[in-house]
Each structure stands twice: as structure tokens, then as C-alpha cells.
Structure 1
Amino acid sequence: MSDPMRPPVSHHHPQGTSLRSGTSGPRASLRTAVVWEVLKEALDRQVKATGRESLDVLDTGGGSGKFAVPVAALGHRVTVVDPSPNALFALERRAAEAGVADRVTGVQGDVHGLFDVVERGAYDAVLCHGVLEYVDDPAEGVRNVAGALRDTGVLSLLAAGVGGAVLARALAGHFTEARHALSDPAGRWGEGDPVPRRFSAEQLTGLVQDGGLRVGSVHGVRVFADLVPGVLVDTEPGALDALIKLEAAAAEQPAFHAVATQLHVLGEKG
């Protein structure tokens, strides 16, 4: 298998609903709100701990800058490593449109060859979002991103959750596929599954700890969003805001980690 750090744009996620059809606008906040709040708080803590208002942030597999550009807008310097020239071109355009081009640098590369393109131990924070599902060796990937951190750095790790896939296949009536995902070592529901690997919360926290980091927090992401019919959010006044608040309330509760579409782990060094 090749070693892309993110899925091709044409891949259709198996838990399809209209809630995920857009990548911008209000609904996009359903995908990112929980992670963004955790990340922003972590960066604020880093600013206070280091005494430096502008941090050095590395975004591995950061693509077109969905997180990198908002992080740069906070005043931080962000390096994005991604294997796709098209994604890096889109990153450059997005950063320019947001007025942060001077704080965003795109570099072509991947997590397994990370130190061919960036310096070891040079970053206050590292983002590794949607990467581990697609790499050949997730443990090595985590060790590398941990190795890019300074002595007191933080890692934001986001990956697909196996429980969310099981639940979504079952609710769609694909019971055999749901059972397959439940028992498959990689958490895949079948040959047609576009996601090479999914994780449990225990597996992700184990990878973070094995990478030499302390687990700061674990959050379930998109616990309900991928299961709610899009028409409900479109037609009910205030429904989107209420759903975002529900996601935030459930995110920290371990009971919901088992059914989240994605899992977010904050790792801390030092």
C-alpha cells in the first residue's frame, strides 16, 4: 500500500448522510467544533507555559489547511506536511485569502519520512488528524510526530473510531458488515471499505503512551452528527446549534467514545 496521509477526495465515507456533504459553512462546524475547542485551549495553555505568544505548530497531513489556517489566524507559525501537491496549492490559496500566508508554510512529505522534511524536536504543538488510518505503521507514525515536539509540546491526534462504523453499518441495515467491522483487526466492514484502519479509544491512547507522551484527554467526535438526518438540521430552527452543543456535552464522556465516528486524543510531553 502506498503511504498517503489522507484519503483521496473521491473516497466516500461509509457513514454517509447529508450532514457531511459540505466542507465549509455552518455544518462544517459539526465536524470540527469539538476538536477545535480542545486544540485552541491546548494552544492557549502552551502560550502561557512557554511565555511565547507565537508558537511553532506542525500539521502532519494537514492538506488544504482546515486547521492550519485558523491556527495561524491565532498568531502562530504553522508548517503543513502533506504528500499532495494539489492540497498544498489549495493551502497556499486559503492562507493567502485569510491573510496569514506569512505564517503558513507547506512542505511535501509524509509522516513516515517526517524528519526528511522537518526538524526533530522543533514544535510546540503537532496536529496529526486523519493520518493514522492510512499509514502502514501507525505506531511509527505516532513516534515520529511525538519526536517532532519540544520538551513540553502537545499532540492533537484525530483518527477514525471503529465503534462509529459498526453502529452506522448496523443502522443502515448492513448487519453482516457491522459484525465484520466489530471483529476485524483493522476495524473495516468489508472489501469496499475506503478506510484502511480504524481504532478504539484504548488503541489510540496506547499508541500515544507508547510514543512517550502522557494522555491529557480523550474526546468522541461526531457521536450523533453522522446519524442525524440532514433534513432535520435544515428545517428545525436552532437544531444545528443544539446538535453542536449536544456533541460537545457528550464528547468527554467515555460511554460515547465507543460509538463516535472519530476519536480525538490530546497527548502531552514533559
Structure 2
Amino acid sequence: MSRPSASSRTAVVWEVLRGALDQRVKAGGRETLDVLDTGGGTGNFAVPVAELGHRVTVVDPSPNALFGLERRAAEAGVEDRVRGVQGDAHGLFDVVERGGFDVVLCHGVLEYVDDPADGLGNVVAALRPGGGTLSLLAAGLGGAVLGRALAGHFTEARQALTGPEGRWGTGDPMPRRFTAEQLTALVDATGLAVTAVHGVRVFADLVPGALVDTEPDAAEALARLESAASELPAFQAVASQLHVLAEPRYHDR
């Protein structure tokens, strides 16, 4: 069964991220931000961020992904504002400056690193001292459990629900999944304060793509539904992904 397009599935994240970038511009008094995108791949977020006028550094372990990033940035005319470097979260400061970024994106990274707490600690250390925004996106446990159950794989759904990493079996391509509570605890441990949590792909992974493609205005209606549900904890609990925004605890400084 086909799914709705990638753009409709990430619309909530982009909406929240763009608002966070605008807020950081106002808070810092600078129109151009330095943004770090860890695990940014071919630039799904990096290129649109650069199109807003910001400078983006993408760190990714895949040379092929970085080649795709270079091509996408050139096609968008923002190659002068996008830089790709090969690396990962644990060796982050071998390739980028510590404390040098206004905003850090950590999207689809914590699922794959050996130690999520250590990896996130490195990512947060890339933020400018005393001011910066973290955008964290990771696989949600509830969405996987619901998806396996609706597909009739009840044993796999239970295994994902009860297993320590949230995996439904040895064939599961995702190494690790999180609940909202687990993600916010990881962020809290870095010293940042969580400012928002959103559920992503609450419905999009369950809706047949053909329905969205053939019904008039269905894609727009689905996007509005996703946005409306994203801030409600009941729907975050069954989202395929979880998005967390965080900033320094200014009152602790």
C-alpha cells in the first residue's frame, strides 16, 4: 500500500521548525543563523532552511548522501549556504566547531547511535553557549505498535511494545524507538528545557496514498488534521515520529 508523499508526512516538523528559526532570529538579533543538521542526508531540511537565508552545515556518515545534498543545494541555488561534511554524532567535534551554532537539528539520529544520551550530549554541545535551539526528531514507539497491530501482526506488535528498544523483531529495520517521556528525559539530562513536543505522522502512515492522491483536497485536509493532532498527548502516543524542541534553561544561568 502506498503512503502519502514525504512532504505531507513532514509538514508538521517543517511548520514547527520554521517558527523556531524565526524565534531564534528575533532572540539573537541576527537575520542569518548558523544551523547544524546532524544526519541531514541529502538535505530534506537543510536545503529549505538555506532557502530561508541561513547557513547550514550538514554532518552525515554517507558520502552518497552528501553527494545528493550537494546536487540538491545546487539545484535550489543555495550551494553557497550549504556545507556537507562526513561524520557522525559521536565524532561530531572532529568535523565541526563546538558551541558554534544557533540551531541544531538532530533528526533520525538517536535511533541509530550506540548511546543515545552520549550522542545527544554531543549534539547539544554544538549549540552556542547560553543560547540556541535544538530540534530533535526520532522514531515513536506507539506508531510502530499500532502499525503492526493494524496489519494483523499482533505478536510483533506486542514484542515492540514490551521490548527494551521498541523493535518488533529481527527483521525490523529500526534499531530503536522512543516514547515522548524517554525523549524528553534525554533532553532534560543535557540541561536544556523542552519547550514543545509534537507527534508526527499520526495518520499519514495509516492512510492509503491512493486515497490522498485521488480525493479532492485530501492532502491539504490530511496536513491540517496532522497539525491539529500533533500537540495532543493522546495522539503523540501513537505517532510514527516524535518531534521535540528545546532551549537553554535561562533561569539556571
- Structure 2 counterparts to residues 133-152 of structure 1, below 5 A: 133-150=111-128, 151-152=130-131
Name the residue aligned to 1:83: 61
- Structure 2 counterparts to residues 1-270 of structure 1, below 5 A: 17-19=1-3, 27-150=5-128, 151-269=130-248, 270=250
Whole-angstrom distance in 2 between the partners of 1:65 and 1:257: 26
**Structure 1 stretch displaced more, 166-175 or 30-39:** 30-39
Gaps of 5+ in 1: 1-16, 21-26
Whole-angstrom distance in 2 between the partners of 1:212 and 1:31: 30
Query: How far has the Cα of 1:28 moved from its partner?
Result: 2.1
Given that residues 158 and 265 in structure 1 are in contact (C-alpha distance below 8 angstroms), is that contact kept between their aligned partners in structure 2?
A: yes
Q: Deviations over 1:74-130 (max 9, x none)?
A: 000000000000100110110011010000000000000001111111000000000
Query: How far has the Cα of 1:234 moved from its partner?
Result: 1.7
Whole-angstrom distance in 1 between the partners of 2:213 and 2:79: 34
Query: How far has the Cα of 1:247 moved from its partner?
Result: 0.2
Whole-angstrom distance in 2 between the partners of 1:32 and 1:65: 13
Whole-angstrom distance in 1 between the partners of 2:214 and 2:80: 41
Query: How far has the Cα of 1:31 moved from its partner?
Result: 1.8
Given that residues 146 and 212 in structure 1 are in contact (C-alpha distance below 8 angstroms), is that contact kept between their aligned partners in structure 2?
A: no
Amino acid at match of 1:134: Y
Gaps of 5+ in 2: none
Query: How far has the Cα of 1:212 moved from its partner?
Result: 1.2
Q: Secondary structure at the match of 2:243?
A: strand
Amino acid at match of 1:267: A
Tell me the number of residue pairs that the alignment of Structure 1 and Structure 2 aligns.
248
Amino acid at match of 2:89: V
Name the residue aligned to 1:23: none
TM-score of the aligned structures, taking structure 1 as reference length: 0.91
Whole-angstrom distance in 2 between the partners of 1:219 and 1:194: 23
Whole-angstrom distance in 2 between the partners of 1:186 and 1:201: 14
Whole-angstrom distance in 2 between the partners of 1:231 and 1:121: 46
Given that residues 57 and 123 in structure 1 are in contact (C-alpha distance below 8 angstroms), is that contact kept between their aligned partners in structure 2?
A: yes
Q: Secondary structure at the match of 1:198?
A: coil
Q: Secondary structure at the match of 1:152?
A: coil
Amino acid at match of 1:108: Q
Query: How far has the Cα of 1:30 moved from its partner?
Result: 1.8
Q: Deviations over 1:214-234 (max 9, x none)?
A: 001000000000001122112
Identity of aligned residues (%): 76
Q: Secondary structure at the match of 2:102?
A: strand
Whole-angstrom distance in 2 between the partners of 1:235 and 1:77: 38
Whole-angstrom distance in 2 between the partners of 1:89 and 1:213: 33
Whole-angstrom distance in 1 between the partners of 2:99 and 2:38: 14
Query: How far has the Cα of 1:40 moved from its partner?
Result: 0.5
